[in-house]
Amino acid sequence: MQLTKEEFKNRLKRKLNDYYEEDIDTASTSELFAAISAIVRDGYAPQWRRTRIAETKQKEKQVYYFSIEFLPGTLLKSNLLNLGWLKTVREALSDLDKIAEYEPDMALGNGGLGRLAAAFMDSLASTGYTGNGNGIRYKYGLFKQKFVNGYQRELPNDWLKKEGHWEVRRESKSVLVRFGGKVNMVEDNGWLIPQYEGERVVRAVPYDVAVVGYQDGLTNTLRLWDAEIPPEEELNYPTISDRRRVEDLTSILYPDDSNYEGRLLRLKQEYFFVSAGLQSILDYYITKLGNKNFAQLPDYVAVHINDTHPAMAIAELMRLLVDEHRVDWDTAWNITQKVMSYTNHTIMAEAMEKWDVNMMSELLPRIMQIITEIDRRYCEGLKGRVSDAVIDRTRIIKNGQVQMAHLAIIGSHSVNGVAALHTQLLETEVLKDFYNLYPERFNNKTNGITLRRWLQIANPELSDLLDQTIGKEWRSDSNKMLNFEKYYHDTKVLNQLHEIKLDNKKKLAKFMKEQTGIEIDPTAIFDVQVKRMHAYKRQTLKLLHILKLYQDLKAGIDHPKRVIIFGAKAAPSYVFAKQIIKVINETANMINNDPDIHGKLKVVFLENYNVSLAEKIIPAADISEQISTTTKEASGTSNMKLMANGALTVATMDGANIEIKDAVGEENIFTFGLNKDQVYKYYAEKSYHPRKMYEEDPVMKKTVDALIDGTVPNCSSEGQALVNNFLSDNEQFLVLADFEAYLKAQEKVEQTWAQKRIWQQMSLVNIAHSERFDSDKTIERYAQDIWHLKKLKIEKVDR
């Protein structure tokens, strides 16, 4: 029996009356939100229980996805959708969208990596695999971004303050995690066991969040750990500052790592959630599955290391097996390698984590001993088989630092990149030595997105059009979206597509007006770049394009109306990224207020980009800017979301852009710029001389000079910093090298925009082919190739 409108209203009335003595029309938004979320929790509770029972009965292998970031966004609508209730509740409550806005984003991540982790949680549950997330319950999510005089200011994001949480505190599942002190190895029956002295003990308390699978999927668990003082240790934490140190452990996401204290805290966080997660996995294995034979652990457990942040899982599992459960080293190592798998998300050197040996020895003495032993055995095992140089390049401990990527690769059976080009670069450039040693470990898993969120929730109008044309099956089987291509010549459908986009643009224009006061014409080209602010993503190239358009318009050269929309946060300690924000904001101010432009060009930098804001911007986009320096963007995922919503991509041949091009065909995407060989040639030959390009190209010169000749006001030092960067031979992101090609691609955009029908046809092809990037498909590949999972069998339930 499906939930009816009447039944939902009855339940809502009951909750409101019980909790607050209010009715639907007298209750406040927060009360309505709390009551609806309680109904939703009641709705998924039976399935959550059934999933747990099925897990212990069927004993299928489970994956534990260890990630320092999870970025689910808001959960009310996605839980409603996955329960099959969204439509009913929408009909019952006309202001559902307003009520849903009350929910703060669960922003426990920075960007793509965290969003991918959340998408994978959803897809595991939806496709019927038991998968558990393991992460940190940060008290403050990613900072709230405000602009003050065009500068980024960071405010705390106190997301837990509000009503109606999705989490359940599981105090009985708490475990202890140890830091610092000294460790002495003492003999016990021929076994060396560690004795700890003077260490600090912290209690890890799990908060479980239900991950509701789509329709008849499973309800899995995302387990987030909070740090507390163990009750039995109160006396060891006598002062407020002692207590605060424990609270700080899970207080903020990515504390500033530009200083020693910040890095130390980060290292603590990494060990904290890794140790807690593994302890709870082994507890479950022993008590619930009743198994003490650890040699079988890989048949029941897969642990996935999402980027290097959880790589200490390898050493911690060794510690638990060898020290706590007395498994001999070789057997334990064999188990560990079979259990662990690792995804690399970047080739950028600065994001490849390295920890100071001294810092690690002080904070985690036993873990450091174990890593040292792993490293010693690794080197010894290869000696004589490969050159000393290879051993030296690939070993874990080098120059007083622990190379976390090396630990992750050496301790895992699988290493994957996140798009075809990225994996290829790992194999042939970045991790070449490892690829030569262990080619069988390397594989590609191109990223994906939850089409449920980005189409069904964010763009219900487009979803309805798909229903009316190709039928509803695409909602559970994305392959069916390819049928949408059959409407390529259907004028009615093409017009509907246009109307839906226009409608979404009107809504966004209204929102932007409310947020920024800027008046927007919804018929203009909506040109969108939304992603972390980073030099390699080249928001700067977009800035130069804006300046070029501005100068043209001032000189009477016409262009179609365009609105350029940015959403981006800069890491708090990333000075250059913050300078870019300031310059874009000043440029926007100048252009938006220049009467000579007659509204032909607008630039809107929306504050506080997050998942919820993405849900507003993406359905309204005409153009998707994916303009990173080729080789630098591992995959990108906003490119996929924008494509699914019918935006046309302007792209370098980087990351997953290449696969988007393969899917839609050259004629349905605007590609430009240096290819990977040209980029590497510049690096190898040190032949990049941007100043020469700038001197010789008057258009480029005039555009770049706008940043320092007083054209863009109020940012002379930031403008100068950008120009110095552009003109330096060491500018590794090659902004000026791609400038001309980028302008050409944008001219092509303008010409195509003039041919409305062709534009709509291209848009339709992009929507149809976004099925390729459905994260359900990605997760099937992980489940089969890496984790070797089988689906859980579970009966249908009435809700």
Q: What angle, 0 to 180 degrees and rounded to 10, lies between the N-to-C axes of helices 657-664 and 756-769?
A: 110
Name residue 775's amino acid: S
Please give the structure tokens belonging to residue 757.
């029908």
Q: 195 forms bridges with which residues in the sheet?
A: 184
- Catalytic-residue membership of 537: yes
β-strand pairing of 401-403 with 354-356: antiparallel
Minimum CB separation of residue 658 from ligand 26W in Å reads 13
Helices (H), 190-259: 240-249
| E strand spans, 611-743 | 623-626, 648-651, 670-671
Minimum CB separation of residue 536 from ligand 26W in Å reads 9
Q: What angle, 0 to 180 degrees and rounded to 10, lies between the N-to-C axes of helices 240-249 and 260-287?
A: 70
**Cα gap 657→455, rounded to integer Å:** 20
Nearer to ligand 26W, 33 or 272 (CB): 272
**How large is the C-alpha radius of gyration of the chain?**
27
- Residue 742's SS3 state is helix
Residue written as token pair 């318009």: 553
* Phi, psi dihedral angles at 711 (to 5 degrees): -60, -55
**Cα gap 345→613, rounded to integer Å:** 24
Kindly list the residues in this chain that would bind ligand 26W in the complex (CB under 6 A). Answer: 110-113, 116, 345-346, 351, 353, 418, 447, 633-637, 655
**Cα gap 698→401, rounded to integer Å:** 48
Dihedral, 403, 406, 410, 415 alpha carbons, nearest 10: 140
Minimum CB separation of residue 266 from ligand 26W in Å reads 8
Nearer to ligand 26W, 37 or 626 (CB): 626
Which residue's CB comes closest to ligand 26W?
A: 112
Nearer to ligand 26W, 39 or 347 (CB): 347
Nearer to ligand 26W, 423 or 635 (CB): 635
Nearer to ligand 26W, 79 or 157 (CB): 157
Our measurement of the distance from residue 93's CA atom to the centroid of its chain's CA atoms, rounded to an integer in Å, reads 32
Nearest to 127 by CA among 773, 637, 783: 783
| E strand spans, 36-179 | 62-66, 70-73, 106-108, 131-136, 144-148, 151-155, 167-169, 175-179
Nearest to 704 by CA among 672, 729, 726: 726
- Catalytic-residue membership of 531: yes
- Catalytic-residue membership of 637: yes
Minimum CB separation of residue 78 from ligand 26W in Å reads 19
The CA-based angle 270-784-282, given to 5 degrees, is 40
Instruction: Tell me which of 223, 266, 319, 345 is the catalytic residue.
Output: 345
Query: How many angstroms separate the Cα of 119 from the Cα of each of 37, 70, 344, 447, 656?
Result: 21, 9, 17, 10, 17
Instruction: Tell me which of 637, 649, 652, 778 is the catalytic residue.
Output: 637
Nearest to 343 by CA among 114, 626, 639: 114
**Residues 6+ away with beta carbon under 8 Å from 778:** 120, 123, 445, 446, 447, 448
Minimum CB separation of residue 248 from ligand 26W in Å reads 19
Minimum CB separation of residue 518 from ligand 26W in Å reads 29
Name residue 398's amino acid: K
Nearer to ligand 26W, 113 or 749 (CB): 113
**Cα gap 105→73, rounded to integer Å:** 4
Please give the structure tokens belonging to residue 408.
């992750």
Nearest to 709 by CA among 729, 690, 723: 723
Dihedral, 758, 476, 619, 621 alpha carbons, nearest 10: -40
Instruction: Tell me which of 15, 77, 501, 537 is the catalytic residue.
Output: 537
Nearer to ligand 26W, 319 or 422 (CB): 422
Nearer to ligand 26W, 27 or 68 (CB): 68
Nearer to ligand 26W, 351 or 379 (CB): 351
DSSP states along 507-561: HHHHHHHHHH-----TTSEEEEEES---GGGTHHHHHHHHHHHHHHHHTT-----
Minimum CB separation of residue 488 from ligand 26W in Å reads 30
Minimum CB separation of residue 445 from ligand 26W in Å reads 9
Instruction: Tell me which of 542, 641, 769, 772 is the catalytic residue.
Output: 641
Instruction: Tell me which of 266, 304, 309, 532 is the catalytic residue.
Output: 532
For the chain, report the end-to-end CA distance as a whole number of angstroms: 7
Helix (H) or strand (E) holding 18: helix 5-20
- Catalytic-residue membership of 559: no
Nearer to ligand 26W, 166 or 609 (CB): 609
Nearer to ligand 26W, 262 or 460 (CB): 262
Minimum CB separation of residue 739 from ligand 26W in Å reads 23
**Cα gap 707→347, rounded to integer Å:** 31
- Catalytic-residue membership of 532: yes
Our measurement of the distance from residue 552's CA atom to the centroid of its chain's CA atoms, rounded to an integer in Å, reads 37
**Cα gap 622→766, rounded to integer Å:** 12
Residue written as token pair 């020469």: 692
Nearer to ligand 26W, 404 or 765 (CB): 404
Nearer to ligand 26W, 581 or 706 (CB): 581
Instruction: Tell me which of 445, 531, 569, 600 is the catalytic residue.
Output: 531
**Hey, which residues are catalytic here?**
345, 531-532, 537, 637, 641
